[in-house]
Amino acid sequence: MKTFRILILSAAALTLTACSEDSLDSQSIFNSSSAPKTETAFDQWLQKNYVEPYNIEFKYRFEYKESDTDYNLAPADYNKAIALAKLTKYLWLEAYDELMGQDFLRTYAPKIMNLIGSVAYDSNGGMVLGTAEGGMKIVLYNVNSINPDKIDIDFLNEWYFITMHHEFAHILHQTKDYPTDFNEISKADYQSSSWVNLEDQEALAMGFVNNYASSEAREDFVQTIAFYITYSDEDWQDLLETAIVDVTDENGDPVYELDAYGSPVYEEDAEGNPIPETDFMGNIVYKTDDDGNTLYTYDEEAGTLTPAPEYKKVQKKDYTGYNKLQQKLAMAKDYLRQSWGIDLDKLHQIVQRRQQEVADGKVDLKSLN
C-alpha cells in the first residue's frame, strides 16, 4: 500500500512539473455557454430539420446548466443521439404534421429537447423516464440504451414517446382546458403522492392506464392520451381487458354469476355446451356428495349411469376500471376534436403505421441525409 501511494504521488509531481513548463489552453474540455463549439454534420442536420421547420433546439451535448444536479448523469452518445433525433422527427413531429400540418407543432411544441445518456435514479431508487419544464423543455434520459441496429418499439415508447405525447397533451390542455367533467370520473380514487405505492394492475382496476395516472386528474388525462396514441390496437385491448377483474368474497373465494333462478351460470363452448372442470393434469373433475362419493347421472334411453362432471362456472366480473377507461378515452377524443380539430383515432393510426415502418427497418437511423 505504501509503494502504491508513493507511485501516485510521483506521477502527480511529474504532472505538475510538466504543466508548469507548458502553456495552458484557455478552452475548457467541458461544454459551457461561453466555450465555442465545433459545428458537426449533426448540428447542420438539426438546424435544417428541427430549428428551421419547428423552432425546436435539440440539445445532444451535455450541458451542466441544462442538467439536473440531483442526479449522477452521463452525456448522450453521438450516434445514438442521431438515432433518437431521427426517431423523434419521424414518430412524433412528422406524425402530427401528417395530421395537422407543420404550423401546428411549430406553434405549440416545446422549444427545447435535451438528451441525457444515462438513467436518472431518484432518492427512492426509482428511474426517471423524462421530465418537462412548463411546456417549454423536455428532458429524455437513457439515450445510450438505444440500439439503432435492433429497434424495440416498446422500449422507445416507454422511455421517450409516451413522455413526448404526455407533455404535449399538457401543453394543449393548458392552452385550452378540457371539460371539468373528466375530473369527476375518478374523483374519489386519486392517490396524490401515494401513486408510487400502487401497482399498475391495481391502477387498471380503478380505471387508470397506469399507476402514475392515478396521481391527479391532469396526469390521468394526458396519460390516457399518450397511452392510446402509442399502444397498438392489440396492446390497448389487452390493457382494457386487464382492467376487468374477478370478484371475490371477503375470504378471497370466487363469486359466481347466478341466473334468474339463483343457479350458477356455466361457461359454454362454441356449440353452447357447458365446459367441464379439469384438474391440473387435465382430467375431468366429477361431482361428489358430502362424503366424497362420485355422483352419477342416469341415461334413461341407454339405461346407463355416467359420472356427473363439474362444469366451469362463470365468475362474476368487475367492469369498473374498464368502463372508466372507456369513458375517459371518449372524453379525451371529444376534447381534442372540438378544441383542436385533432382526430385522436387518426393520429393513433398514423403513429402505429410509422412505428411499424421503423420496426421493419424502413427508416434510416444512422446517416444524416
User: How distant, in Å, are the alpha carbons of 131, 189, 191, 338 from that of 216?
Assistant: 17, 9, 7, 23
d(CA 143, CA 115): 7
CB atoms within 10 A of CB 350: 19
Of 26-40, 269-283, 333-347, give the range with the top mean pLDDT: 333-347
Unique residue bearing C-alpha cell 508548469? 20
- Give me the percent of the chain exceeding a pLDDT of 90: 61
> Who's near 357: CB < 8 A, 6+ residues apart?
363
Residue pair 78/60 in contact (Cβ under 8 Å)? The answer is yes
C-alpha cell, 3: 509503494
Strand partners, 256: 315
Cβ-contact 354, 70 below 8 angstroms: no
Say whether pLDDT at 356 is over 80.
yes
Predicted confidence (pLDDT) per residue in 108-166, tens digit? 999 999 998 887 776 666 666 667 666 688 889 899 999 999 999 999 999 999 999 99
pLDDT over threshold 50, residue 4: no
Amino acid identity of residue 231, one-letter, is Y
> Nearest Cα to 145, choosing from 76, 234, 69, 67?
76
Does the pLDDT of residue 230 top 80, yes or no? Answer: yes
Tens-place pLDDT, residues 287-335: 998 888 999 898 888 889 999 899 998 888 899 999 999 999 999 999 9
| Separation between Cα atoms, residue 18 and residue 268, nearest integer Å | 86
